[in-house]
Amino acid sequence: MPTIVVEVMPKAEILDPQGKAVLGALGRLGKTGYSGVRIGKRFELTVDGEVTDAVLAEVRELADDMLANTVIEDVVSIEVQP
Amino acid sequence: MSPRIGVITFPGSLDDRDAQRAIRIAGAEAVALWHQDHDLQGVDAIVLPGGFSYGDYLRAGAIASHAPIMAEVVDAANRGVPVLGICNGFQMLAEARLIEGAHTRNEHQQFIRRDQKLSVETTATAWTSGFEAGQEITIPLKNADGRFVAAQEVIDRLEGEGQVVFRYVEVNPNGSMNDIAGVSNARGNVVGLMPHPEHAVEPGFGPDTRAAMKSGTDGLVFFTSVIEGLLARAR
């Protein structure tokens, strides 16, 4: 069954404390070659049937209305995987 | 007739009973409402209680903000019905776009619980009319995703329009922008805040005060404010 993959990231200007904590952990592991870590979300929506334009349009709407909070997050990609 | 104030219970609500109790102590009738209904049972005001609705999955308050009853809450809020969102309820108000801004994980990544001092920045809301402007109050705070954020122009507008209702005093417990603890909509009928007024309504169970241990009842004024407003409107 086809899958629609939606990726959401915190907006650049929003502090991402989770990413910051991971960056700190990298430093403590001696991995000092990294200046930033940001953590986002990946949604995989398994579609019943074919991915039509209507389905894609619906997912775009869902991404903005529910999967992401566009006050603090951006939908960075919506891709169909066969 | 005493006003009827509804408290909506969602899966994962924790403080719905405390909110109902606070409403009764303040002198109104508490009406239990259910997230799956499309019925506000004609209540005069609404409380969205604290807790971890839907386990805070997706984002705190996000899934609850799409619950069936939220359609009626949005309609009621737009009609001017007083709505108070406490903690998880504040997060729901933001997710439902009834107030501006959003919440992220506390800056220090820890869950925090403390008796929190706040300043009342405006008394021009349905839920703060009984306070003095600038009054300092202490009520409990307990959250993990309490950091209030918004675009800088939104923060500036909220500040300029007097929609910042509460500000953290002495300690900013979660990294909220401008020390903002609570905000309102433009009309002032919808108020959301992270700390919990319903846990400071009865001597013996509230925060410590200089007078006596656990004697703080500053939270009661939220509920008496809205009751007085509703009674004045009915007269």
Q: Domains in chain B: how many in total? A: 1
Find the catalytic residue in B72, B95, B100, B196.
B196
Residues B200 and B215: their CA atoms lie apart, in Å, by 8
Nearest to B221 by CA among B108, B150, B136, B103: B136
**pLDDT at position B205, please?**
93
* Concatenated DSSP letters of B69-92: HHHHHHHHHHHT--EEEETHHHHH
Is the separation of the CB atoms in B148 and B176 below 8 Å?
A: yes
Residues B158 and B186: their CA atoms lie apart, in Å, by 9
Q: What is the pLDDT of residues A18-40, one digit of tens each?
A: 899 999 999 999 999 999 999 99
**pLDDT at position A1, please?**
85
Find the catalytic residue in B72, B87, B103, B199.
B87
Checking if the pLDDT of B155 tops 90, the result is yes
Q: What is the pLDDT of residues B157-209, one digit of tens each?
A: 999 999 999 999 999 999 999 999 999 999 999 999 999 999 999 999 999 99
**pLDDT at position B35, please?**
97
Find residue B4's DSSP bridge partners: B29
Q: What is the pLDDT of residues B53-66, one digit of tens each?
A: 999 999 999 999 99
Nearest to B16 by CA among B2, B5, B27: B5
Is the separation of the CB atoms in B100 and B77 below 8 Å?
A: no
Residues B227 and B26: their CA atoms lie apart, in Å, by 8
Please tell me whether the interface predicted TM-score (ipTM) of this complex is above 0.95.
no
Report the pLDDT averaged over residues B30-34. Answer: 98
pTM of the full predicted structure? 0.94
Chain B interface mutation, best of A71, A73, A75, highest count of B Cβ atoms under 10 Å: A71
**pLDDT at position B161, please?**
97
Checking if the pLDDT of B1 tops 80, the result is no
- Give the pairing type, strands B190-193 and B83-86: parallel
Residues of chain A with pLDDT under 50: none
Chain A interface mutation, best of B58, B103, B104, B183, highest count of A Cβ atoms under 10 Å: B104
What's the DSSP call for residue B27?
T
Is the separation of the CB atoms in B191 and B183 below 8 Å?
A: yes
Range of the domain at B172: 4-234
Q: What is the pLDDT of residues B76-120, one digit of tens each?
A: 999 999 999 999 999 999 999 999 999 999 998 899 999 999 999
What CATH number has the domain bearing residue B120? 3.40.50.880
Residues B153 and A13: their CA atoms lie apart, in Å, by 13
Nearest to B30 by CA among B217, B165, B226: B226
List of domains in chain A: 3-81 (3.30.1280.10)
| A and B: number of Cβ contacts within 8 A | 37
Mean pLDDT of chain B: 96
